[in-house]
A = this chain, B = another copy of it.
């Protein structure tokens, strides 16, 4: 693979800058799947305001495709499939289904996504492919083809599996991706990560706490802190995340909680789950909080705050589903003992 073919699936703030980094480097052939903005991007291209790459007007990667099927048909077999969509297993389609049309024997799949236990269904669906973990630390948004990239592009890349379980090509495909991604003069940053699970748990110390609680109360992180959030909720909840990590043998670095408590000081930043709730979009609740709590339950770790937050957010997620028409509640179905409600609901929606 002298000039690998890369498919980037998901053209939000993260995916677009990912495609840009690869295109600037120009050691791969980059196809970006662009769904709702397809006509806009093929005619006008992106407007990029990037702390990493400056201002660009009318930028496009090598190829743009309407969907994964079209990408496969028009631009061939991909060496890398970089998935940067939201991961919502309780939503309308799974990540496995989204990329399936493009996966071939030679594909390495890179999940540049939030959350925990996201690789397991992917490994089950594509057992012969190497699945890499990409944790993005970028700050980047896409509104109607205008990319605002305020944090330097920074990806931490590693194999999800422990060294002894990895496919034999694991190190080779990681090294190759670093080579085609890392731009000169340290413009962006891609790091090899030998402990991908630890990196994910450390990011969860932020996401399990700030993403979830800001979504419940509809406030940015700084306002929550003004209203006493640091000591009342954030720090105690972070301890619960760290205890769950410990139950699977992962020691979160001791500086992590205070780093995250202060990472947004003065920024009045709203995390993605809060933004999704405001837009009435499904939230990444299961991969960010549900999956860690499954581990807590299995390992009997006490998580009173996170469990309460989770059960409340399940209700919010269902509210969003009803408002979007994904589910429909007919009161006539529920004129009975309320302890039978969830069973009736499950039967109706096969959940």
Contacts and interface: CB of A to CB of B under 8 A. Distances in A.
Interface of A: 213, 216-219, 222-230, 232-233, 261-262, 264-266, 268, 304-305, 308-309, 311-312, 314-316, 318-319, 322, 329, 331, 334-339, 341-342, 344-345
A268 to B, nearest CB: 5
B331 A219 contact: no
A230 B315 contact: no
B228 A311 contact: yes
A340 B226 CA distance: 8
* Complex copy number for this chain: 2
A233 B305 contact: no
Contacts of A342: 225-228, 230
A233 B218 CA distance: 21
A223 B333 CA distance: 12
A228 B268 CA distance: 34
A345 B226 contact: yes
Among A222, A264, A312, A335, the most chain B Cβ lie within 10 Å of the Cβ of: A312
B315 A304 contact: no
Given A219-B315, A308-B309, 18 more contacts: A213-B312, A217-B312, A217-B315, A222-B341, A223-B315, A223-B329, A224-B315, A229-B315, A230-B338, A262-B337, A262-B338, A264-B338, A265-B336, A265-B337, A266-B331, A266-B336, A268-B334, A305-B308
